A and B are shown apart, each in its own frame.
Chain A
Amino acid sequence: MTKEYKTITEISGPLIFLEKTEPVGYGELVHINLPDGTTKRGQVLDTSSDVVAVQVFEGTGGLNEESGVVFSGETIKLPVSKDMLGRILSGAGEPLDGGPRIVPEDRIDVNGASMNPYSRMPPEDFIQTGISTIDGTNTLVRGQKLPIFSGSGLPHNEIALQIARQSKVPGSTEDFAVVFAAMGITNEEAQYFMEDFEKTGALERAVVFLNLADDPAVERIITPRMALTAAEYLAYEHDMHVLVILTDITNYCEALRQMGAAREEVPGRRGYPGYMYTDLASLYERAGVIKGRKGSVTQFSILTMPGDDITHPIPDLSGYITEGQIVVSRELHMKGIYPPINVLPSLSRLMNSGIGDGKTRDDHKAVSDQMYAGYAEGRDLRGLVAIVGKEALSERDQKILEFADLFEDRFVRQGRDEDRSIEDTLQVGWDILSELPESLLTRIDNKYIEKYHPAHKSN
C-alpha cells in the first residue's frame, strides 16, 4: 500500500486526523511527507471507516493540510541483527553514529508479544553487583526488573554505571550485552554514560538508543519498545544475558501524559492517563527468563521521583509492577554517603529465590533480616533521641542506635570503584552485627551464629 493521501482535516498537538482513506489498520506505521521534502513517522491510534487519527512521533511542527500521508500496512518494526552491538541509534532506531544502516536478520514488531506465563522460568541466578546494599539486602537476579527510584541531583547515574561495570554472575562466562535507552535525558547526561561505556570497553557489547531532551517527546513512547525489542532479540535468538537500562522512566511517563492530553482523554491521578499502569507493564514485563532458552533480559531502569515523593503515580505504578526498587536517599547523600541507598524502602522481591546455600550463602537471609530490623529500630530511636536525649535510652536502645550509625558507615558506604564480593558484604554484615549483644540477634538461627558470628567462629 503506497498510496499517498492528502486528506488531513485537522492537526492538533501531536495528532493528525484524516478522512476518505482505504481501510487502515490499528497501530499501523505511517509516513508523512511534508511540503519541504522531509518525512516524519507516526502511528495509527484510532481507525474507522470515516476518520483515522495518527500520532506523529517527531511532532507535528511544519505539517499542514498539504502534507501527504502514506500508510505502511504494518505495525512499527525494528530491524535487528547481532551487528547492532556497538551501535548508537536514535530513539526511533535510526543510526546516529555515522555507521551504515543495520542489515536486518529480522524485523520485529516493537510492541513485543506478551510472554506466556507458562513459559516463564522463575529468575533465580544471583547477580553480584559489588554493592553491599544491593547484593546483601536487596539482591538482584537474572531476569528481574529492579529500577532505581531516585531524585533529581542524586547520583543514580553513577550507581547505574557502577552496576553495569561490576555486575557478574559468579562463576559464569556466558555472553552478556547492555542495551541502553535514553529517554529525554540531557545531552550531557548521555555523554556521561557514553564516555563510561567507551572507557570500559562496554560499548562494544552495547546497543544504545538515544532520545534526548531536545528530541520530540512523542518519540519517547517508542524508544523503550525499540530497546526492549533489541534486548529480547539478543537474549532469545542469540542466547545473551542482556542488561537493559532505561533512563529516565519519568520522562517517558511525561510523554504519555502529554499524548493523553492531546487526545483529550479523561485524565487519571495527577493528570496521568488511566491506562498508565497497563502501559508501563507492557515495558517492565518484558524482562525475564524463558524455560529452555539460554538468554535473559534483566531491567535496571532509572526513575527520578518528582519531589522525591514515592507515592507519586510514576514511582507508585512502577513499584506495583517491578520486582522491587532500589531507593536513593537525599538524606544519606547529604550525609556524604555513597552510594546513598536507603535500604528500608528498598526491596528486591526476587531476593529469596536468588540467595542461600548453593547460591550465595546459607546465612544470607538471616543476616539481611537482622540488619533491617536493627537499622529500622535505630533510625526510629534517632528521632526519639532528638527529643529526650541519649541518656533517656535504655542500654539496649543505645546499642541499637549505635548500630544504625555503623550500618550506614560501614555497610552502606563504599567506594565508587569498590567491588565487594558477596563474602565481603556478608563479612561486613557480621562485623557490625557483632557489636550488638547476642541476645538481640533474634532473627538469626543459632546455627548461623555458631558458624559465622566473630565471637564463635574463631573457636
Chain B
Amino acid sequence: MKGEIYRVAGPVVTIMGIKPKMYDVVHVGHEGLMGEVIRIEGDKATVQVYEDTSGIKPGEPVVNTGMSLSVELGPGLLESIYDGIQRPLKVLQEKMGDFIDRGVTANGLDRERVWEFKPTVSSGDSVTGGQTIGIVQETENIEHKIMVPPTVSGTIEEIKSGKFKVDETICVLAGGKELSMMQKWPVRMPRPVDKKFIPRRPLITGQRILDGLFPVAKGGTAAIPGPFGSGKTVTQQQLAKWSDTDIVVYIGCGERGNEMADVLNEFPELQDPKTGRPLMERTVLIANTSNMPVAAREASVYTGITIAEYYRDMGYDVSLMADSSSRWAEAMREISSRLEEMPGEEGYPAYLSARLSEFYERAGAVKSLSAEEGSITVIGAVSPPGGDFSEPVTQNTLRIVKVFWALDAKLAQRRHFPSIDWLTSYSLYTQGLADWFAENVAPDWVPLRDNAMDLLQQESELQEIVQLVGSDALPEDQQLVLEICRMLREYFLQQNAFHPVDTYCPFDKQYQLLKAISKYSDMAQAALESGIPMKDILSIESKDELAKVKFEEDFEGALNVVMEKMDKEFAALGGN
C-alpha cells in the first residue's frame, strides 16, 4: 500500500494514505528512508525516521513494509560493527564512503558468506521453539547454535549438512516450513525463555574495586553514573575487555565516534584473558554516535539487547554495555517532544521509567527454551547533567539495578582511577556471592574484604576530625588507620587502565594484595602495642615498596621480596 508524506519536522515525519500498525517499519520519500511508526491518529501516522530528513518534501511517497523493526540473527554477528538499526558500518563505508549518506540499506548478515553447518538432529525428530538443530563454528571459540525460531515447532522432514549461506534452507519441517541459519526477531520484544534464576556467579572483571568491593553477578544489572570525565567509558571498556564472559555486546549510544574507533582498533589486538583469542572475536559493536540520527539512537539499545538475548539462548554468558543510557533517554525525550507529548520530569516522557525497567528486565540468568543456561549482564553508563544524581534517568535507573558504581569527579580530578566512590557505591549481590568467593578465591577473602570496607568507613569519619585538628593530633592507632587506608586506596583501589600489567588483575592477585596490606596492618598494630614509636612504623621501607608490586610482570616474585623485607624490618624494630 502506498501513502504520502504530509509533514516533515526533523526526524519526525507525518504520513497519510496508509493504515500501518504501531511499530511498522516504513520507507519514506523518494530515497526510501527507513522509519518506524510511533503514533497513529485518525488517517495520519507519525514516523520516527532513522536517517537525516533534509530536503524531504510533503507529497513524497511512503511504503509500508508491514514488519516491525527487527534484527537478523545468525552466524556473522560476532566481530561486526553496526549502526543503531543493524546496518554494518563496514558495508555502509563500502557503499557510500567515509561519511554516512542516506537511503542506503544493508543487510545485518552477509548474504554471500558461506558457513559450515553441522546438524545435531535428524529427520523424523520433532523440534520445538528455541531448540538447537545444528551448529556452526562462528569464531575459533564460539560455537554458534542454530536454533528453531521461538515461535516455530514441528517434525523435521529434511535436515542438511555442509556449506550454506545464511538465507539458504538447511531444514524443512513437516508441512513445508523451511528454516535457514538466519532468523529475524522484532527488537522491542524480549525473546522468550524457559525460566529465570537468581544470579549466583560473579562476573569476574579483573578490576579490583569491582570484583573486590562491589561485584556484579552474571545475569545481574549495574549502573555507572558519573559526570563527564569521571571514567564511565573507560570502565565500560575495561569490562568489555577483561570480563570472564563469552560474548560482549557493546553499544556506543549517542557518544563519541573516536571511542568506537578506539575499540575497533584495539579489540582485534587484545587477547581474551580466558581463551587467548583476539577480543574482537567475542564482540559485537553497535555504534550510533552522538552525531548520527537520534531515532536510530533510540533503537540502538534494543538492537543490542536482542542480539545479546540470541547468544544467551545458545547458553552463553553475555555482557552488554550501554554507553550511555542517558543518551538513549534523551533520544526518547527528543522524539517525545517532537510529538508534543505531555512532558514528565525534566521534559522526559512519562514512560521513561517503564522503558528503563523493561530494558533492564531483559538481563538475567536463564534457562533457555533449549534448556541451556545462559545469562545477560547489563551494565549501563548514566550521564547525569551537571553530575547531579538526583535527576530522573539516574534515579529511575537506581530503582531497578542491583549494583551502583558511583563515579566521583573529585576522585577523577586527582587522578584516582577508577574514580568509583567506595563510600556511596553498593552491590546487592555481595551476600549472595559470598559462598562462591569463599570456595573459589579463599576462605578468608570475605572477612578480608569486609575489614577493608570497615576501615575505609572509619577513614572518612577520621578525615572529618583531621580537617579540624590536623592528623598529628590523632591518637597513634588512628593515625595507623589513616595510613592503612591510604595504602588500601593507592595500592589496592587505584588501578591504571592504561598500564599494561595493572589493567587486568586476576582474582588471586587481588587477594594477595589485600592480604599483604592486611599483614602490614597486623604487624604495625602489634608493634604499636609493644611500644614502638609510630614514626618508625611508618618509615618501614617495604611498606612504600608495596605500592609498586602491582605493576610488576612477576607480581608474585616482587611481592615475596617486599614481604620478606617487611618481616625483617619489623623484626629489626624489635616488636612483632
Nearest CB of chain B from residue A185's CB, rounded to whole Å = 25
Contact of A116 among B99, B252, B262, B548 (CB under 8 A): B99
**A47-B98 in contact given A120-B261, A446-B548 (Cβ < 8 Å):** no
Residues of A within 8 A of B347 (CB): 266-268, 274
Q: In the complex, what residues of A have CB within 8 A of residue B90's CB? A: 118
Quick check: is B264 within 8 A (CB to CB) of the other chain?
A: yes
B268: interface (CB < 8 Å): no
Are B330 and A277 closer than 8 Å at their CB atoms? yes
Question: How far apart are B569's CB and chain A's nearest CB, in angstroms?
Answer: 14
Interchain CA distance A75-B8 in the complex, whole Å:
14
Taken residue by residue from 1 to 44, chain A's Cβ proximity to chain B (1 for < 8 Å, 0 otherwise) reads as: 00000000000000000000001111110000000000000000
Is there an interface contact between A116 and B93, defined as CB atoms closer than 8 Å? yes
Minimal beta-carbon separation of A306 from chain B (angstroms): 13
Contact (Cβ within 8 A) A111 B330: no
CA of A47 to CA of B29 in the docked complex: distance in angstroms? 14
Distance (Å) between the CB of A51 and the closest chain B CB? 9
Taking a contact as CB atoms closer than 8 A, the residue among A24, A26, A120 that contacts B9 in the complex is: A26
From B54, B385, B469, B544, A25 is in contact (CB under 8 Å) with B54
Encode contact with B along A400-427: 1 for CB under 8 Å, 0 otherwise. Answer: 0000000000000000000000000000
The answer, yes or no, to whether B192 is at the interface (CB within 8 Å) is: no
Contact mask for chain B residues 49-89; partner A; CB cutoff 8 A; 1 contact, 0 none: 00011111111100000000000000000000100000001
> Whole-angstrom distance between the alpha carbons of A394 and B474 in the complex?
12
Asked whether, in the complex, the Cβ of A311 is within 8 Å of the Cβ of B386, the reply is yes
Interface residue count for B (Cβ, 8 Å)? 79
User: B252 contacts which chain A residues (CB < 8 A)?
Assistant: 117
Chain B residues contacting A376 (CB-CB under 8 Å) are 413-415
B414 touches A23 (CB 8 A): no
In whole Å, how far is B415's beta carbon from the nearest beta carbon of chain A?
4
Given contact pairs A26-B10, A112-B99, A376-B415, A285 touches B290 in the complex (Cβ within 8 A):
yes
A81 beta carbon closer than 8 Å to chain B: no
Question: Taking A275-B334, A311-B386 as contacts, is the C-beta distance between A26 and B54 under 8 angstroms?
Answer: yes
0 or 1 for each of B244-263: is its CB under 8 Å from A? (1 = yes): 00000000101011101110
A365 to B499, CA, bound (A): 10
Q: Which residues of A contact B496 (CB under 8 A)?
A: 369
Question: B93 contacts A319, CB within 8 Å?
Answer: no
- Cβ contact within 8 Å between A352 and B498: yes
The answer to whether B467 and A384 have CB atoms under 8 Å apart is yes
Known A27-B54, A275-B334: A394·B471 in contact at CB below 8 Å: yes
CB-based contact B467/A387 at 8 Å: yes
Question: Is A349 interfacial (CB-CB < 8 Å)?
Answer: yes
Question: Interface stretch among A99-107, A163-171, A195-203, A320-328?
Answer: A320-328
Q: How many Å lie between the Cα of A123 and that of B257 in the bound state?
A: 11
Give the residues in chain B near A28, CB-CB below 8 Å. Answer: 55
Closest to B264 in A: A118
Partner of A388, one of B56, B287, B468: B468
Whether A69 is near chain B, meaning CB under 8 Å from some CB there, is: no
| Chain B, residue nearest A71 (CB) | B57
The verdict on A26 contacting B415 (CB below 8 Å), with A120-B258, A266-B337 known, is no
Q: Knowing A352-B498, A373-B414, A384-B466 are in contact, say whether A321-B544 is a contact too (CB < 8 A).
A: no
Closest to B229 in A: A347
Shortest beta-carbon distance from A162 to chain B in Å: 24
Q: Mark B293-336, 1 if CB is under 8 A from A, else 0.
A: 01000000000000000000000000000000001001001100
| Given A45-B9, A282-B291, A439-B544, residue A117 in contact with residue B57 (CB < 8 A) | no
Residues of B near A321 (CB, < 8 A) are 256, 290
Rounded to whole angstroms, the CA-CA distance of A388 and B469 in the bound complex is 6
A116 in contact with B490 given A281-B290, A281-B291 (CB within 8 Å)? no
Does A117 lie within 8 Å of B289, measured CB to CB? yes
A65: CB under 8 A from chain B? no
Q: Are B228 and A320 in contact (CB under 8 A)?
A: yes
* Complex CA–CA separation, A389 to B469 (angstroms): 9
- In chain B, positions 27-59 with a C-beta closer than 8 Å to chain A are 52-59
Q: Report chain B residues within 8 Å CB of A248.
A: none
In the assembled complex, the Cα of A236 lies from the Cα of B97 at a distance in Å of 12
Question: Which residues of chain B from 465 to 481 have a CB within 8 Å of any chain A CB?
Answer: 466-473
Residue of A whose beta carbon sits closest to that of B384? A316
A residues in contact with B412, CB < 8 Å: 347
> Is the CB–CB distance between A49 and B7 below 8 Å?
yes
**Contact residues in A for B93 (Cβ distance below 8 Å):** 116, 118-119
Q: For A388, what are the chain B residues with a Cβ–Cβ distance below 8 Å?
A: 468-470
Alpha-carbon gap, A237 to B459, bound state (A): 59
Which chain A residues lie closer than 8 Å to B227 at the CB level? Answer: 311, 316, 319
Within 8 A of B (CB), among A336-361: 344-345, 347, 349-350, 352-353
User: Counting CB contacts under 8 A, is B124 at the interface?
Assistant: no
A442 lies within 8 A of B548 (CB):
yes
| CB-CB contacts below 8 Å: A277-330 with B | 277-278, 281-282, 285-286, 288, 290-291, 293, 311-313, 316-317, 319-321, 323-325
Distance of A45 Cα from B547 Cα, bound (Å): 59
The smallest C-beta distance from A363 to any residue of chain B, in angstroms, reads 13
Is A121's beta carbon under 8 Å from chain B? yes
Encode contact with A along B333-353: 1 for CB under 8 Å, 0 otherwise. 110010000010011000000
A266-B343, A285-B257, A288-B257 are contacts. A47–B544 as well, Cβ < 8 Å? Answer: no
Give chain B nearest CB distance to A344 CB in angstroms: 4
A277-B290, A397-B471 in contact; A269/B257 too (CB < 8 A)?
no
Residues of B with C-beta under 8 A to A334: none
Closest to A317 in B: B385
B432-473 vs A: 1/0 string, CB under 8 Å?
000000000000000000000000000000000011111111
A239 interface residue per 8 A CB criterion: no
Min CB–CB distance B8 → chain A (angstroms): 4
Picked from A111, A274, A373, the residue with its CB within 8 Å of the CB of B54 is: A111
Q: Is A115 within 8 A of B99, CB to CB?
A: yes
Q: Which residues of B contact A112 (CB under 8 A)?
A: 99
Residues B468 and A387 in contact, CB atoms below 8 Å apart: yes
Point out the residues of chain A lying under 8 angstroms from B7, CB to CB.
46-49
Contact status of A25 and B387, CB under 8 A, knowing A46-B9, A377-B414? no
A258 to chain B, nearest CB (A): 18
Please give the residue numbers on chain B whose beta carbons come within 8 Å of chain A beta carbons, in ascending order. 6-10, 14, 52-60, 81, 89-90, 92-93, 96-101, 227-229, 252, 254, 256-258, 260-262, 264-265, 287, 289-292, 294, 327, 330, 333-334, 337, 343, 346-347, 383, 385-388, 409, 412-415, 466-473, 490, 496, 498, 541, 544, 547-548, 551
Q: Which are the 9 A-B pairs with shortest beta-carbon distances?
A: A392-B470, A376-B414, A281-B290, A48-B7, A311-B386, A27-B54, A120-B261, A113-B99, A118-B89
Sample of 15 further A-B pairs with CB below 8 A, known A115-B257, A267-B347, A311-B387: A24-B57, A26-B9, A28-B55, A117-B257, A118-B261, A119-B99, A120-B257, A120-B258, A268-B333, A319-B227, A323-B256, A344-B414, A372-B414, A387-B467, A439-B541
